[in-house]
Structure 1
Amino acid sequence: MKRMHPYLKLSALSYAVLTISSSVWAAQEEPPAASPQAVQTLPTLSFQVEQAPAVQKDPDISAVAKTIVTREEMEKFGDQSVNDALRRAAGFQMPAAGQGPRGGSGSMRFRGGGAPVFLINGEPVQGGPRGGMSVIDSITPDMIERIEITKQPSVAQASVASSAVINIILKEPLDGTRLSGTARAGYDIAKSNANEEQRKNISLQMDGRDDAWVYSLSANQMWNDTTTVSQIQNTGGLNTTQKRTINRTSQMISPRAEYLIDDQQKVIAELFWRNNESEGSMRDQIQEDKNDSIRLNTRYERKDQGNSDKIRLSIEQQNETELPRSALRQSYTDEQVNEYGLAYDGVRKFDQSKQIKFGTDLRASELESNIAAALDEQRYALYAEGSWQFTPRQTLTLGARQEWISRSGLVDYSDQHLSPVLAHRFDFDDRWSLQTNISQAFSSPRANQLLPTVSVSADADAGTLNNPDRGGNPFLRPEKINAYETTLGYNTPAGGVNITAYYREINDYIEKAIRNENAQGGLCAAGDADCRFVERPYNQDNAATYGVEVAGRYALKQTENGHSFMLNAQLSTVRAEIEADNGAKRLASDVAPYTASTGLSYGYQPWRISASANLNYTPEYTRRLSNEPYDRTSNQRVNMDLSLTKRLDSGWSASVNARNILSTDYKERLSSTADGSLYQARVNEAIPSVLFSVEKKF
């Protein structure tokens, strides 16, 4: 099929942007003024007599908008993590509790693609060398001021290829005291038949001001002991029961200091130290995993009305080890990543209707392994993005990002790409709006996707098709992405509804595929007894993801009688279709056709009580496994979470959070594509849990 030249395609779509458009925003705190704001703050419930401090409006006039989840909202919904807040945002497919043989290691997806990019105060943060935990997993809502979600491509945030950036803004002192804070302790018990889980956590958040100094300290310690039982049925009806015990500990300490040079300038330093250890046992198999990191972020910021300059310097070292041992085999993996970053971001406003963003980002990393060759990587980027509000109700944003990448050692190659973005927003009135975003981008594989090292699975069926080992692929090519997204929105101070349609065409699409390999990593020959199934990322010829999202929200702020109420719901559909080299088409094997969720929050001020309920639904779906003559069917799943908080005197409060209430088990069935006969089935029970926590503000 003859393809249109990419620049001609962008030009054609650029012309279409003025006639068709839009992009899903959550409901605004206020209706748009004469100058439409691209930043939209979700309505926040207030359960106390005093109103929560208003979020300062961002003077940004860009047509690339952001959804903002405030700390107050996370408190009202009883969120315990960043993922709890994201599950209420349409487009994110979260891993089911207890999903898969690895006990919930399934990764988050955004609109059928890869995981979104996470930032802390605008600074990218990485996972482990082998895709392990990152700083994000240890951040609690007590540390957060707000979460900014950019669902559309933006050259300023390096989200051109991912189309989703989650920027976590850390909390600053809420008052002028020299020291205030929150201490929290929790105990979580979960049990379902033979499955059992106990979690304990202690966290401390302190902050304060002293003249020009602003400082804070966050610390948390978690213990998690889990016993899970999986049921496996093989061909011929043979049933196997597997029992696993995993003990995890996690600690994080994060001091932060800020010095105000004057009314326009300040310098900030943030340190994150984190350690995670896990020991699991199953029959004669023991697996020990460790992941620790230390990260330093420093920034200089200058703001003068609409103009700003920001210089960012970051350093991170992360170590990850795996030690699986059994009577048949033992392996040890020790890998380390050193990363260095230097970046500059600038904003200049010429008047109330014109602005430009520009900057540069320089990054270098070293990945060392005791098994594979070392991998050195250098990335450089320049970007510029201009926004023009050419009528009182229309805004146009045009930007481009030029990136260079060079890798040596394990992989030797250099590449460079230009990624343009065009966005348009039209406000019909103070309630109705239409917004469109068009982009072209390139996504280079991450370092952990390139490492060929195999991570051995756990359980008795490790290395099988239903529970494969995992590895990387040093021969991956970058993805080439053309994306279009449009949203029609109706928003009022009390809430609104937004409908989004999106389409992404991806060449050299990177998909995880399972293949039968021998000990040397080659494809297995018939009768080879040393074969194991291994899941690795591979480039497919072409793919397209498209769908529609509907998100609604209604909030009743606190009445004279003390009642407050908020209801939100979203439905997100996605079709991820892959075209192979021979032209055959199939659906991506691990992308659900749609997800739906709804949340309800209520508060009664005279009793100082707040409560919330969240319900999530994923339908049953069947997908063909790549390169294998089997279909995989995942059952429909329902998950409900409840929370109740009671405020007491002297800053005390008590909370009860019930997770996975009325939840369905996670089931997978592999069957032959020829006759539908069973190859293997697995059941992982959902474990309902109740978390009791006590909080003291001082």
Structure 2
Amino acid sequence: MLSSLRMTLLAAALASAFPALAQETAGAAPKADAAADQKMQKVEVRGTADSYDARRDDTATKIVVTQVEIAKYGDTSVVDVLKRVPGITVSTPNGRGGEIRMRGLGAGYTQILINGERAPGGFTIDSLSPDVIERIEVLRAASAEFSTQSVAGTVNIVLKKTVRSGQREFKLGARTGSGFQGPTANLQLSDKLGTMSYSVAASVMAEQFSRRGVSDEQAFDPAGQPVQVRHADGHEDGRLKLFNLAPRLNWTLEGGDTLTSQSFVNSARFRNHNQDVNTTSLGPATPYPVLDSAVRSDNDVLRTELNWVHKMADGAKLDVKASLIGGQNTTDNRRWTPPGAARPIDNLVHLEADERGTTTVGKFSKTIMKDHALGMGWDGGYSRRTDSREEFEAGNRVFPALPKGEESESRVGRLALYAQDEWNLTPRWSLYLGARWEGIRTTTSGNTFATGRSRSSVWSPVLQTLWKIPETKGDQVRFAVTRTYKAPSFQQLIPRRQTSIDNRSTDPDYAGNPDLQPELALGFDASYEHYWAEGALFSLSASTRRIDGYTRYLVDFDGARWVAMPMNAGRAVTRGVELETKFPLKAVMKDAPAIDLRASLSANWSRVDGVPGPDNRLDGQAPLAGNLGIDYKRAALTTGASFAWKQGGQIRVSERQTTTLQARRDLEAYALYKFNPKQQLRVALSNLLGQDFVNRGSFAEEGRGLVLREARIEAGPSLRATLELKF
């Protein structure tokens, strides 16, 4: 009775804290992959490990994408894997890379983690090979163990952990498509040697590409008469090389303790050359009729961690992890005109970034009283990042007074403390209560701006509950209330300007804003789930987020040049509804073939205060997105297809600026044929509809009128073939 009273009071205290808990904060780092711990707790209460299903049984809502699903289409980038996950869309403006979005929200609203931690600056998620990933966890609502910097949700990518005795696998593949081609290779090794076990996952990819892009720009005076028409024809050539390595060592110590060492190495090399030929049929000519540009970028990331798990009396456990993280990025951007140009230019910008950091994470977990899984822990760290920018014109330094260019240094110290209790009130009703405090201290200094210091914190209570409806076998309801936030990035805070060559409203300079404040969000989630056969699911969910201090980029003329700068622009509200179903055809037809079907549909609405309507929505948010998939297996052949669709629409960014979200349709197909237990061939086709990548926007420019711009990058179908061998 006393225990129940204490938990009731705790729930009431957390609930009452939501309206008034927002303290301003700047970034914090995420932590803690506790899936295994939750799984063990669930096994003790709900049954055997074989019957455990994280999606169905965990109180905290979670979707787990297994390694089998990750490898199905033979993707070379994890971004391509995620676009088939329900509730996730991928924004790819130019056909390379992509931004992962939950609830249609990207730009930092969706938290991306690797083994529960953020990667150093400069690392891009599209450079991560699916072959080094064990599973992907999609958390729709925040939890106390992870950072609450997850307004839309969290995608946690867990690297290879499973050890299989005598595993030896090698994959050799090739990719080709409209304007690109290249080989891929992957190696998987794992084994057990007494009390020690190990695993190694390595992946390499190389690609050469050549593609064409065109853009058109038109300007109209206040009366609607055209005053300018420009056309640009561009051609890009380049190459890309990626390397991933994920080694892991495990030791079982006396008394049941374990010690694990895991590292991750990522290396990316990108080179390209682009030439734009501009023609003007009306109005003043562009200052650079022919402009060449080239990018040379090298990025390296290293992360290594040591994890000790100590089993204590009465089922208690202490899990402690220490990590070292480092990253380095070097980029050269060069732009030049051909000899004899009326307005010659030869501009080179050299950028260097270096980041070093260390983290320590700990968690104590214990089952207390009856049906209470208590957990508490910490997450602390320190990082130092240095950036430099040197600019040269015709080989001469643009700022001679700065012999080493523009330099900046950022130091971040952070600490997070949390506690959580997962309580099974009845066999059909469970409750998750958590609270997390995150504090951060940031110092940013440079030789072109004043030193800035900030200290802030946020207090985030979290409540999630799962109720299995009585008198049913597979019906259940979930509800969650969360307080989350989004902190400004270093690039958004540093007031250093990045210049454009042909400066105009549609191609402005960029500058950070040291006065930028964090965004704070209050969220509610509710869902109904129906499990009606083995492997069959129907789910309907709804969510809402109120975001205070919403950040958007505003373009303005400072008297000399057009500049885009992030600004806090009031409040935004977003709402969404998601529908998902998946089932084997045998669930509805007794003698049906081995066909699995899946479908999902998500609708999003949003409104930004301070921007006049209509279409004053959150930037880049797709109003409607859907996915259809089918898999078929017969004897040695497995095949399937997936169709992803995203609705377009116009978005008003400010009183004078709009962007147009292009509708997107992606059709893919794959086939896997097993010659024998040790040899198989996987073939996949993507972008079968051959859709180009299109970007549109407009700006009402003073003295010039309405400016419309459209850019198109040509694309076509692609083919991937991979031979998979076990030895």
The alignment's TM-score, normalised by the length of structure 2, stands at 0.79
Find out whether 1:623 has 2:612 as its counterpart. Answer: no
- With over 3 angstroms needed to count, the CA separation of the structure-2 counterparts of 1:77 and 1:414, relative to structure 1, is same
Counterpart contact for 1:462–1:469, Cα < 8 Å: no
Code of the residue aligned with 1:207 in structure 2: it is S
Task: Give the deviation of 1:695 after TM superposition.
Answer: 1.3
| Deviation readout 1:217-245 (Å, 9 max, x if unpaired) | 22222112222211111114432211111
Q: Tell me if the contact between 1:88 and 1:569 (Cα under 8 Å) persists in the aligned partners.
A: no
What corresponds to 2:113 in structure 1? 119
Structure 2 distance, partners of 1:482, 1:239, is 46
One-letter code of the match for 2:117? P
What is the CA–CA distance in structure 2 between the aligned matches of 1:684 and 1:346, rounded to whole Å?
52
Q: Alpha-carbon deviation of 1:215?
A: 0.8
Distance 1:582 1:655 in 2: 51
For the pair 1:70 / 2:66, whether they are aligned, the reply is yes
How far apart in 1 are the matches of 2:585 and 2:46? 21
The CA distance in 2 between the partners of 1:617 and 1:39, in whole Å, is 38
| Secondary structure class of the residue paired with 2:619 | coil
User: Shift of the alpha carbon at 1:112?
Assistant: 3.6
Other structure's SS at 1:326 match: strand
CA distance in 2, matches of 1:384, 1:488: 27
Amino acid at match of 1:341: T
- Equivalent in the alignment of 2:412: 377
Q: 1:175 aligns with which of 164, 168, 183?
A: 164
**2:473 maps to 1:445:** no
| Aligned counterpart, 2:623 | 593
Equivalent residue for 1:184? 171
- C-alpha distance 576-228 of structure 1, shift in aligned 2 (>3 A): farther
- The residue aligned with 2:194 is 211
Match of residue 537, structure 1, among 563, 566, 573: 566
Per-residue Cα deviation, 1:78-99 (whole angstroms, up to 9, x for no partner): 4444333322333322123xx2
Q: Alpha-carbon deviation of 1:106?
A: 4.5
**Is 1:393 aligned with 2:386?**
no
Q: Deviations over 1:391-436 (max 9, x none)?
A: 2211122111111111113331111221111112111032111111
State the TM-score, normalizing by the size of structure 1: 0.82
Alignment pair present for 1:340 and 2:321: no
Write the deviation string for residues 533-558 of structure 1: whole angstroms up to 9, x where unpaired.
54x43222111111111111113589
Using a 3 Å threshold, how does the CA distance of structure 1 residues 71 and 382 change in structure 2: closer, same or farther? same
| CA distance in structure 2 between the partners assigned to 1:104 and 1:464 by the alignment | 25
Counterpart CA distance in 1 for 2:473 and 2:590 is 27
SS in structure 2 at match of 1:73 = helix
The one of 517, 524, 530 aligned to 1:490: 530
**Per-residue displacement from partner, 1:415-468 (whole Å, max 9, x unpaired)?**
1221111112111032111111002233332334323445567xxx86554455
- Letter paired with 2:570: D
Distance in 1, Cα, partners of 2:712 & 2:44: 48
Task: Say which SS state the counterpart of residue 330 (structure 1) adopts.
Answer: strand
Q: Does 1:657 align with 2:691?
A: no
What does residue 145 of structure 1 align with?
134
Q: Do the aligned partners of residues 254 and 233 (structure 1) sit closer, same or farther apart at CA in structure 2, a change above 3 Å counting?
A: same
Residues 1:645 and 1:374: Cα distance change in structure 2 (over 3 Å): same
What does residue 243 of structure 1 align with? 235
Using CA pairs under 8 Å that are at least 6 residues apart, name the structure with larger relative contact order, 1 or 2.
Answer: 1
Counterpart Cα distance in 2 of 1:557 and 1:379 = 52
Alignment of 1:477-516 (within 5 A): 477-492=517-532, 493-511=534-552, 513-516=553-556
> In 1, Cα distance between the equivalents of 2:483 and 2:296?
42
Bigger Rg, which one: 2
Shift of 1:498: 0.7
Letter in 2 for 1:152: A
* Aligned residues of 1:372 and 1:451 also touching (Cα < 8 A): no
After TM superposition, the structure 1 = structure 2 runs for residues 610-649 of structure 1, keeping only pairs within 5 Å, are 610-626=638-654, 629-649=656-676
Q: Pick closer, same or farther for the CA change 1:510–1:690 going to 2, 3 Å.
A: same
Q: Which residue of structure 1 aligns with residue 376 of structure 2? A: 358
Q: What are the superposed Cα offsets for residues 267-291 of structure 1, whole Å, 9 maximum, x if unpaired? A: 1111222221111111322111111
2:123–2:301 CA contact under 8 A, matched in 1 = no
| Cα separation, 2, equivalents of 1:471 and 1:638 | 34
Corresponding residue of 2:298: 290
Match of residue 145, structure 2, among 148, 153, 156: 156
Alignment correspondent of 2:307:
299
> Which of the residues 553, 558, 572 maps onto 1:524?
558
* Partner of residue 552 from structure 1, selected from 581, 584, 609: 581
Return the alpha-carbon distance in structure 1 between the equivalents of residues 548 and 610 of structure 2.
11
Q: Is the 1:224–1:249 Cα contact (8 Å) retained in structure 2?
A: yes
Counterpart Cα distance in 1 of 2:51 and 2:199: 20
Q: CA RMSD in A?
A: 3.4
**Amino acid corresponding to residue 644 of structure 1 in structure 2:** A
- Give per-residue Cα distances to partners, 1:467-492, cap 9 Å, x unaligned: 55555432221111111110011113
Q: 2:513 aligns with which of 461, 473, 479?
A: 473
CA distance in 2, matches of 1:623, 1:363: 39
Give the AA of the match of 1:438: V
- Check whether the contact 1:95–1:104 (CA below 8 A) recurs between aligned residues: no
Secondary structure at 2:515 match in 1 = coil
Q: In structure 2, give the amino acid aligned to 1:332.
A: H
Query: In the TM superposition, what are the counterparts of 1:660-679 in structure 2 within 5 Å?
Result: 660-671=687-698, 679=708
Measured at CA, do residues 330 and 40 of structure 1 come closer, stay the same or move farther in structure 2, by a change above 3 Å?
A: farther
* 1:630 Cα deviation after fit: 3.6
Identity of aligned residues (%): 22
Q: State the alpha-carbon separation in 1 of the partners of residues 522 and 45 from structure 2.
A: 23
CA shift for structure 1 position 300: 0.9
Kindly indicate whether the alpha-carbon contact (under 8 Å) linking 2:689 and 2:716 is maintained by their aligned counterparts in 1.
no
Report the number of matched residues. Answer: 629
Q: Secondary structure at the match of 1:156?
A: coil
Amino acid aligned to 1:11: S
Aligned counterparts of 2:190 and 2:152: Cα–Cα separation in 1: 34
Q: Could you tell me which amino acid in structure 2 is paired with residue 164 of structure 1?
A: G
The one-letter code sitting in structure 1 at the alignment partner of 2:431 is L
Matching residue's letter, 1:87: K
Distance 2:612 2:293 in 1: 42
Aligned-partner SS, 1:85: helix
State whether structure 2 residue 269 is matched by structure 1 residue 277. yes
- Pair 1:325 & 2:325 matched: no
Deviation at 1:105, TM superposition (A): 4.8
Q: Provide the C-alpha distance between the structure 2 equivalents of 1:488 and 1:185, rounded to a whole number of angstroms.
A: 43
| Secondary structure at 1:412 match in 2 | strand
| Whole-angstrom distance in 2 between the partners of 1:693 and 1:150 | 31
Q: What SS does the aligned partner of 2:261 have? A: strand
Stretches of structure 1 that go unaligned for 5 or more consecutive residues are: 1-6, 15-31, 42-52, 517-522
Pick closer, same or farther for the CA change 1:152–1:36 going to 2, 3 Å: farther
Deviates more, 1:257-266 or 1:331-340: 257-266
Match of 2:80 in 1: 84
1:156 CA displacement: 1.2
* Rounded Cα–Cα distance in structure 1 between residues aligned with 2:47 and 2:687: 31
**Per-residue deviation at 1:325?**
1.2
Distance change >3 Å, CA 224–CA 455, structure 1 → 2? farther
SS at match of 1:586: coil
